[in-house]
Structure 1
Amino acid sequence: MIKLFKRIDKRYIPSLLAILLLTFGQSVAQLYMPNLNGDIIDKGVMAGDTDYILRTGGLMLLVSLGGMVCAILGSFLAAKVSMGFGRDLRRGIFTQASSYSLKEFDKLGTATLITRNTNDVTQIQNLGFMLLRMMLMAPMMLIGGIVLAVSKDAVLSLIIVAVIPVLALIIWLVGRSTIPLFQAMQRKIDKLNQVLREKLMGIRVIRAFNRDDAEKERFDSANTDLTKTAIKVNRILAIFMPLVMLIFNLIMLGVVWFGAVRIDAGAMEVGQLQAFLQYIMQIMFSVMMVAMMFIMLPRAQASADRINEVFALETELLDPDAPKAPEKTGKVVFDHVSFGYTNAEELALTDISFEAAPGETVAIIGSTGSGKSTLANLIPRFYDVTDGRILVDGVDVREFKKEELRKRISFVPQKALLFTGTIADNIRYGKEDATDEEVQNAARIAQASDFIDEMTDGYNSMISQGGSNLSGGQKQRLTIARALVRRPEIYIFDDNFSALDFKTDAKLRAALKDEVKGATVFMVAQRVSTVMDADKIIVLDEGRVAGMGTHRELLKSCDIYREIVASQLSEEELA
């Protein structure tokens, strides 16, 4: 927790100092009130002095007004600081997560990152506000109340000395019991978010296979698990609060009892007992504030640990101290490249070597799980190679700044991803300052202009979240247009023609030839018809190169390629 609060920006220091002064002023006002009240009884009511009652009563109003102003301003500043700190934490988590490679995302997972940036930060915000308001006031009220209570009657104050250690022990036991449970709750919230996210994202698949009941059971199981833990925590807290109130009422009963005895013995006045009772209430109120803090602290501590874990997890894909930026040509070389995912038993790619020259189209084909997409992900350095090296324009990709490397590449992922906004905005995602003519030209080459023109608002038509108002082929064509508008030196198409019919596929590849002339093109595909015109075809089998060459060369030399071709083309087409 302390490690997390060290991240508070220095610009909040004046506000923190102001909160400290305002809290001190509010505490002084509240501690002064019982003394004035006792004086009114002893010196005003008992003596029948009306003027003294009016003067002291007016002073009490002024003190109350001052305390109220301090409380309002203190609460406002505390809210401003805690909410600002929460905003800074969210920004920090988002920035940190944005720097992660796919390896770190695979390690943490999307669901937990969402929870840590929302629920966990909210827990820290709430604790921060409570700390600035209650935790600052509680020690002042506790110490001040004890000192003033002792000044009124030292003998009667022994009751407080006897009870406070008991309360401290109860608070410690509750904190010890709830911290593991709150940590478990945050993990179970992660699980619940994961199930819910999968349910919402996979709604089409779930309904297509009539798995609604099964998904409801998954959600109910995760929800019930979280509920049981939450109930267990609240049972502990439900016992804790009445127990503290019972002790509080016993103290008040004891003070009234022994106070009456001392008044009867002439050792104490009625006003002093009244003031003493109010000081006891303030002391107990301070203890209650501390107790509330200890109720919130375990869950906030669990959240702080999870947030610190995000900040502590550094990406392995660091920019070099002396990055290189060679002339842009688009040449790509794989030099004995091997790669394995974290905790995987086998390498995904083994000893891959080839060259791709500018103006050349390199197709990558193979069975499912052969490593095609993995190979494509290594070029823009989404992952770092395990062995070997990848050269772009003669320089190892690890010697580039990631931003500089990716400026040279247009990447079209296997899963077509669109953002909420207009069609033009989504195409301009590839080039922010693209003109209308460039946007329209990219859409025309990607064979997307026909369906765009048919839409009511054309290029200003809105795309819903995830492109759910478009077909799979329409989404793929827009993602291709987004890559084309950038006009880089290297294009990577990761199986982006699978949702297109053969006619559109052929038209798109024909239009691409002139558009990407001079650039290096990588085309991952399942269809033989998509790759057969490529300058170089790389056949992958279980992460290894099974063959390399043109379509005709591979038909003669590569059995695996012949099998793939025979499974897709007729004998006439094959001939």
Structure 2
Amino acid sequence: MHAISRLKKYIKPYLLFAIIAPILMILEVAMDLLQPTIMKHIIDDGIANNDSPYVVTMFGLMILCAILGLVGGVGCSIYTTKASVNFATDIRKDLYQTITYFSNRNKDHFTLGKLITNITSDVEMIQRALMMLLKIFVRGPLTFIGAIIIIFFTARELFPVLLFVVPILAFSIFFFTKISGKLFLKVQEAIDQVNTKVQENLAGIRVIKAYNRKNHQVDQFTAVNGSLMKRNIRADQIIGILGPLTMFVVNIGIILALWLGAIKVENGTIQVGVIIAFINYLMMVMGGLMSSSAVLMQIARALPSAKRIVDVLEETPDIKSNENAMKATLKGEVEFDQVSFTYIEENEPVLKNISFKARSGETIGIIGATGSGKSTIVKLIPRLFDVTEGEIKIDGIPIKQLDLQTLRESIAFAPQRATLFSKSIEDNVKYGKEDATFEEIIEALQSSQAYEFVEKLDAKEKHIVSQGATNLSGGQKQRLAMARAFVRKPSILILDDTTSAVDSISEKNIQKAIKENFEDTTKFIVSSKVSSIRHADQIIVLDDGYIVGLGTHEELLRGNKTYQEIVETQIVKGGVLSE
């Protein structure tokens, strides 16, 4: 019930629609309930007495009832749709907004597959439940109760048949609804697994092809898809039993009604029209129960989805601004004070006792072996992760005391893996600065050496990047990612191994542009190549999470064994230290 209580606020803006829809449905149900009674009067009072004017009048009344019922039904559908679709849209919006604030730990807790299911299948499930609740759940109980009341007053002689039919139907609905809720929770969990596998395989499609592992991945997907199939079949089979069972009970009721009615007609107790009306009302009773059961089953399916959605909405992001967070214009002086960090608490720290200070405008190079913690250091500055121990300060202020938006607006970050969006090149660059002018975009493209290939495209900066940027090379993607960072003109610029796929001439031109255009910006350049960071004001040498060297290129060459080994290795591989 907590999930329902948590989500009810989303219906409040559309409460008027949610009130009008049931009222219109009441009109439709009332008109439907009148039809069998009118038919009874036509047979018993009109046709039996050869009263043609009476029959015509009653037929006209039936048509009027049908028209009013149509107006009620159509109106109910319109307002139900408005309420339920807007309700679901607002939930989906909040879900997406919540997810965007999640840290990597939050995302790992739920898994990407489950989050995709939350924002698609789960939201759709509760949307359908609300739609059925406002429309069918009003119709079902009203039809059921109304038909029973009318039978009691107009066909009391046949009322005992209901005492046989209704309890069996009610118990069946309760039993199958209870079972279906548990089964459909397992179905949603199986959908999570399918979504996770699809997302993983599509993200790694090139690796799968390169290693010719398509059949292996197909087998894995077949396994999770088969699990979903089995759970769906089981859930649908259980629900499928209810329909035929209900119809069987109702048919028995009709037989009993005809048998008992025939006796009563022969005795002169009731008329033929009463039996016909009773059978119609009996079908309405069945329809009311069946539609109510359909809604209850949909609610049973939606409750687990609602709980899963609320779990996401109530998840507290690991990384967020403090209540009294400071908003300040940052100059870019960065200090690490005895910083240690671990991705998983039980594991050994990735970074250990890291301490250094970068003055505003300095260039800091970071180098080391694979897995030494190079990328992790720069991810801590914009608080993509929070330190495990120690403290990071910018302009002397601990970054946890800074407003998160203010902090990140002062930083431009080009990650190791260049991520571009399926928009135009211009839009991708403006992602770094929403109000960037055309001149600023061109300048950023030129600084990153991206303009040399952009100007050759037919649409130039309006060229649309495909999903996953598959229509660009690795070097082109890296240069556009740098352009996105450059256009921001930040206080702190972070380039995480962003020239690994860029040729040496372009890299030198990029270094020159950085030196000329970002003189007052504090620059962090992570690289596995000495040539990319040799001109830095300070070079941090990492080994197994520790700083094993700190100084200029010349200082480290003279006195740091680890740095000397890196340089010697790269000289052997191709003379990367050339000016």
Is the TM value for this pair above 0.5?
A: yes
Structure 1 window deviating more from structure 2 (43-52 vs 551-560): it is 551-560
Give the match for residue 552 of structure 1.
554
Q: In terms of mean alpha carbon deviation, does 77-86 or 472-481 score higher?
A: 77-86
Partner of 1:346: 348
517-526 vs 326-335, which moves further: 326-335
Partner secondary structure for residue 6 of structure 1: helix
Q: How does 1:359-378 map to 2 (within 5 A)?
A: 359-378=361-380
C-alpha contact (below 8 Å) 1:370/1:542 kept by paired residues: yes
Are the equivalent residues in 1 in contact too, given 2:4–2:306 (CA < 8 A)?
no
1:122-201 equivalent positions in 2, closer than 5 A: 122-201=124-203
1:439 match: 441
Q: Deviations 1:491-511 (Å, cap 9, x if unpaired)?
A: 011111111122322222122
Task: Give the Cα–Cα distance (whole angstroms) in 1 for the partners of residues 493 and 275 of structure 2.
Answer: 85
Q: Specify which of 401, 404, 424 is matched with residue 402 of structure 1.
A: 404
> Contact conserved, 1:120 with 1:304, CA < 8 A, in 2?
yes
* Cα distance in 2, alignment partners of residues 456 and 58 from structure 1: 69
What is the match of residue 545 of structure 2? 543
Deviation at 1:543, TM superposition (A): 2.1
Any unmatched runs of 5+ in structure 1?
none
- Aligned partner of 1:47 in structure 2 is 49
SS in 2 for 1:369: coil
- State the AA in 2 paired with 1:91: K
Alpha-carbon distance in 1 for matches of 2:90, 2:328: 37
Deviations along 1:216-253, one digit per CA (max 9) or x if unpaired, are 11221121111111111122122222111111111111
2:287 matches 1:285: yes
Offset of 1:488 from its aligned partner?
Answer: 0.8
Moved more, 27-36 or 66-75: 27-36
Q: Which amino acid aligns with 1:89?
A: I
Task: Find the aligned partners of 2:223 and 2:238 in 1 and give their Cα distance.
Answer: 23
How far apart in 1 are the matches of 2:562 and 2:301? 57
- After superposition, the Cα gap between the structure-2 partners of 1:155 and 1:351, relative to the gap in structure 1 and judged at 3 Å, is farther
* SS of match in other structure, 1:431: coil
> 3-state SS of the aligned residue for 2:501?
coil
Output the CA distance in 2 between the equivalents of 1:326 and 1:491: 18
Q: Secondary structure at the match of 2:339?
A: strand
Aligned twin of 1:419: 421
Q: CA deviation at 1:419?
A: 1.5
Write out aligned runs for 1:490-529 (5 A): 490-529=492-531
Distance 1:167 1:520 in 2: 74
**What is the root-mean-square deviation in Å for CA atoms of aligned residues?**
1.9
1:326 aligns with 328
- Out of 235, 242, 246, the position equivalent to 1:233 is 235
* Contact preservation (8 Å) 2:530, 2:577: no
What is the number of residues matched between the two proteins? 575
Shift of 1:158: 2.3
Aligned to 2:263: 261
Cα deviation 1:333-386 (Å, max 9, x = unaligned): 112222222455222222221111112111122222222212111111112222
Task: Provide the rounded CA distance (Å) in 1 between the counterparts of 2:577 and 2:441.
Answer: 38
Q: What code does the residue aligned with 1:250 have? A: I
Deviation, 1:106, is 2.4
Q: What TM-score, normalized to structure 1?
A: 0.96
The structure 1 segments of at least 4 consecutive aligned residues displaced by more than 4 Å after TM superposition are: 571-575
Q: Which residue of 1 aligns with 2:226?
A: 224
Shift, 1:556, TM fit: 4.0
Matched, 1:88 2:85: no
CA distances 1:289-342 after superposition (whole Å, capped 9, x unpaired): 022123323322222122111111121322222221334211111122222224
Q: Distance in 1 between matches of 2:462 and 2:74?
A: 48
User: Partner amino acid for 2:251?
Assistant: N
State the distance in 2 between where 1:318 and 1:41 align: 74
Give the C-alpha shift of residue 426 in structure 1.
1.6
Counterpart of 1:156 in 2: which secondary structure? helix
Q: Separation in 1 of the partners of 2:532 and 2:475?
A: 15
Moved more, 467-476 or 341-350: 341-350
The equivalent of 2:248 in structure 1 is 246
- One-letter amino acid matched to 2:258: V
SS of corresponding position for 1:157? helix
| Amino acid in structure 2 at the alignment position of 1:138 | G
Give aligned-pair identity as a percent: 37
Corresponding letter in the other structure for 1:313: E
Helix, strand or coil for the counterpart of 2:392? Answer: strand
Question: How many angstroms apart in 2 are the aligned matches of 1:557 and 1:267?
Answer: 115
Q: What runs of 5+ residues in structure 2 fail to find an aligned partner? A: none
Alpha-carbon separation, structure 2, partners of 1:325 and 1:144: 64
Rounded Cα–Cα distance in structure 2 between residues aligned with 1:563 and 1:344: 32
* Whole-angstrom CA distance in 1 between matches of 2:432 and 2:577: 38
Q: SS state of the match for residue 455, structure 2? A: helix
How much does 1:147 deviate?
1.0
Aligned to 2:309: 307
1:39 and 1:5, CA in 2 relative to 1: closer, same or farther beyond 3 A?
farther
Deviation at 1:487, TM superposition (A): 0.6
Give the letter for the 2:249 counterpart.
I
2:471 to 469, 472, 475: 469
- SS class of match (2:418): coil
Output the amino acid matched with 1:475.
K
How far does residue 552 in structure 1 lie from its aligned partner after superposition?
A: 2.8
Q: Which residue of 2 aligns with 1:459?
A: 461
Displacement after TM superposition at 1:574 (Å): 8.0
Q: Distance in 1 between matches of 2:241 and 2:278?
A: 29
Aligned residue for 2:217, secondary structure, equals helix
> In structure 1, how many angstroms separate the alpha carbons of the residues matched to 2:466 and 2:176?
48
Given residue 453 of structure 2, which amino acid in structure 1 is its aligned partner?
F
Are the aligned partners of 1:4 and 1:304 in contact in 2 as well (CA < 8 Å)?
no
Deviation at 1:4, TM superposition (A): 5.0
Matched residue SS, 2:435: coil
CA distance in 2, matches of 1:157, 1:337: 80
Q: Which residue of 1 aligns with 2:65?
A: 63
Deviations 1:75-97 (A, max 9, x none): 11111211111111111111111
Name which of structure 1's ranges 64-73 and 2-11 shifts more when overlaid on structure 2.
2-11
Pair 1:273 & 2:279 matched: no
1:211: which partner in 2?
Answer: 213
TM-score, L = length of structure 2: 0.95
Aligned to 2:106: 104
Aligned to 2:30: 28
Separation of aligned partners in 1, 2:397 and 2:300: 50
The 1:212/1:312 distance shift into structure 2, 3 A limit, reads same
Question: Which residue in 2 is equivalent to 1:121?
Answer: 123
Q: Distance in 2 between matches of 1:493 and 1:528?
A: 14
Quick check: 1:103–1:342 contact (8 Å CA) kept in 2? no
> CA separation in 1, counterparts of 2:540 and 2:428?
32
Identify which of 380, 383, 386 aligns with 2:385: 383
SS, match of residue 176 in structure 2: helix
Matched residues in 1 for 2:556 and 2:346: separation?
A: 31
User: Partners in 2 of 1:489 and 1:574 — Cα distance?
Assistant: 29
Residue type at the aligned position of 2:246: V
Contact 1:326 1:393 in 2 (8 A): no
